[in-house]
Chain A
Amino acid sequence: MSTAIAQATPLHPVQGASELASVCARHPDVPRLVVLKTDVQRRGVHYTDRALALLDPERHSVTGTHIFGARDGRIAPRPESLLLRDGSSIITTPTPLEQRPYVVDHVDGRLALVDGGAPIEEVEYWPRPDYYAKRTRSGLPMKFVVSARPQRLNVFPYRHCHFWNDGEGCLFCDIVPQLRKGKDDLGIPARLDPEDVRETVAEALREPGRFVGICITAGSNTRGARPFDAEVDYYVEILRAIGASFRTPRFPSQLIGTAFEPAQLERLRRETGLTSYTADLEVLDERLFSWICPGKARWVGYREWKERLVRAVDVFGRGRVDTGIVAGVELARPHGFATEEEGLRRTLDEAEELASRGVSTVFIVWSPRPGTALAGQRNASLDYYVALAEGLHGLRARYGLPIDFDDYRHCGNHPDTDLSRLLRP
């Protein structure tokens, strides 16, 4: 990691082991476990040999589809991620030790997060689902067709993003380099056959009590009579294949796609069992969107993307549409906000406008990875992320926006939606 790159001015500069405690003290309404989870996402993890010795591929989920890369740039069988005592997940990746990650170690008979040499919280590896041991009739390992979080199925049916064809991929993203690695190293096809998906989902649902939702996401595909028609066509195929396993016309599901036109959204709603929709703006600022997401900016544009999100509420309903941001990229050099204070204010202002129109904003912690255009930069301070989580959660509370479809069970990657566990309906 480069230390030469200038960083945005932090909200409250604190370094070292005291940072977790001081941020917890500054945000008494945010539980320590959520602060800790956020910090682990922010700093990444390093697994000791003793911790890896506890990893049992027969019982635990081992890294599978690798749609996005690890911070250490390796594709290797390692723990997919971690579970906390409150049932929420920490979705994080192995990170080089020189970047000061949390250490996952075997301490007193338990797996623990360790910082500064002291164990600070017990964790568990994700349990492996039964279907990971099976193959589709075409011979593909099912774990490469559909990956599993503790309570969610992930379908990544198309591992290419057409924005990259013109060198316009999002600057924080490594989906296309990962596609190449996945294809070469693991034999994962770039485009899944819907029949493989149907078989795998059917098999996954045989496991009692394991899953509460299905998430489908892929790279953007600009092709078609109208831009992105080809992407919608394929999602319809995949969703119908998934729907074949359900006795109900609709099933708890989330599509994370490009910002589609109303007719495309209505088609998804009409022809499939889809129940929620996400189109990630990635960064809530028009100028930064154009810099960080050049493909999205050219093909849709920031304002139009927002309008399409709002129109999606008419199709899927309030509390069933959101947009994701990669929190921290708004501070990236050289064009990001100069201070975290400005980044927070501008982001929450935009999120409030969306919330007032029925669209939630959720964040993931930006994890600068090798193979991305922003490699070598640092993400934001822990204080920034915790304040952002409080702010986005507060907007949902103020505007009465449920977030069940993207909560700790259905995703687990958003510290802000973890906080919804205490909200009264």
Chain B
Amino acid sequence: MTATSLDPRIPALLADAATVKILATSDRSGRPHATVAPSIHLDDDGRLVHLERLESSGTQRNLVASLWFDRPVAVTVQRGAEAFEIVGVPVKALVAGPEFRRQYEALRARAPEDDLAAVWLIEPREVTELTHDVRRARQEAERPFLTHLDRLAR
């Protein structure tokens, strides 16, 4: 997979606090793990940014494994009926430096008891629209044999 440009609707979705964001990762053996990840947003270079608060979390371990072994992760974003899946690859973990500090201070301003283990940069490689009505219409148009007949009956 190579880097991909994002659907123009995605930046607005990611910027909306009402959007649900799920980060799905897996460990070296393929064991899946999914977590709600409200911090995910876009940086100026079009990469997804995830703030991982716990060094000991399963997500942190799996993101390390993904970066080390070039394994993809998936981010699902949904607001109302509108939804997308972004498959990407973690390319960098910031643990010190100006950007880490900026994110750390902003996080602590919102949640004074919290900590920040790493700022993860995830490069999008593939985007799929998951909005149900869009997928159903596409399926009905492209794969007519998958439809129950009673839905077509007079």
Chain A interface residues toward B at CB < 8 A: 29, 31-34, 83, 85-87, 124, 126-127, 150-151, 207-210, 409, 421-425
Contact = CB atoms under 8 A, between A and B. Distances in A.
B67 interface: yes
Contact of B96 (A29, A83, A85, A421): A83
A31 B93 CA distance: 15
Interface of B: 27-28, 55-56, 58, 61, 64-65, 67-69, 91-98, 100-101, 104-105, 108, 116, 118
B116 A209 contact: yes
Contact of A209 (B55, B67, B101): B101
Nearest to B104: A209
B68 A210 contact: no
B56 to A, nearest CB: 7
A421 B67 contact: no
Contacts of A124: 97
A422 B100 contact: no
A424 B68 contact: no
A128 B95 CA distance: 13
10 contacts: A31-B68, A33-B67, A33-B68, A85-B67, A85-B92, A87-B93, A209-B105, A422-B28, A422-B65, A424-B61
A343 B28 CA distance: 30
Nearest to B93: A87
Contact of A87 (B28, B95, B101, B104): B95
Contact of A86 (B55, B93, B96): B93
Most-contacted residue by chain A among B95, B97, B100 (CB, 10 A): B95
Contact of A85 (B56, B69, B91, B108): B91
**Which 6 A/B pairs are nearest by Cβ-Cβ distance?**
A31-B68, A209-B104, A87-B95, A87-B93, A150-B96, A127-B97
A33 B67 CA distance: 9
A213 to B, nearest CB: 12
B64 A422 contact: yes
Contacts of A421: 61, 64
A31 B92 contact: no
Contacts of B96: 83, 126-127, 150-151, 210
Given A85-B93, A87-B95, A208 B101 contact: yes
A409 B69 CA distance: 20
A87 B118 contact: yes
Contacts of B108: 208-209
A422 B93 CA distance: 15
Contacts of A86: 64, 67-68, 92-93
Contacts of B69: 31
A409 B118 CA distance: 11
Given A87-B94, A150-B96, 20 more contacts: A29-B28, A31-B69, A33-B67, A33-B68, A34-B68, A83-B95, A83-B96, A85-B91, A86-B68, A86-B93, A150-B95, A151-B95, A209-B100, A209-B108, A210-B96, A421-B61, A422-B28, A422-B68, A424-B27, A424-B58
Nearest to B108: A208
Nearest to A59: B98
Contacts of A85: 67, 91-93
A283 B66 CA distance: 34
A210 B94 contact: no
A246 to B, nearest CB: 16
A340 B69 CA distance: 28
Given A208-B105, A209-B104, A409-B55, A127 B68 contact: no
A293 B96 CA distance: 36
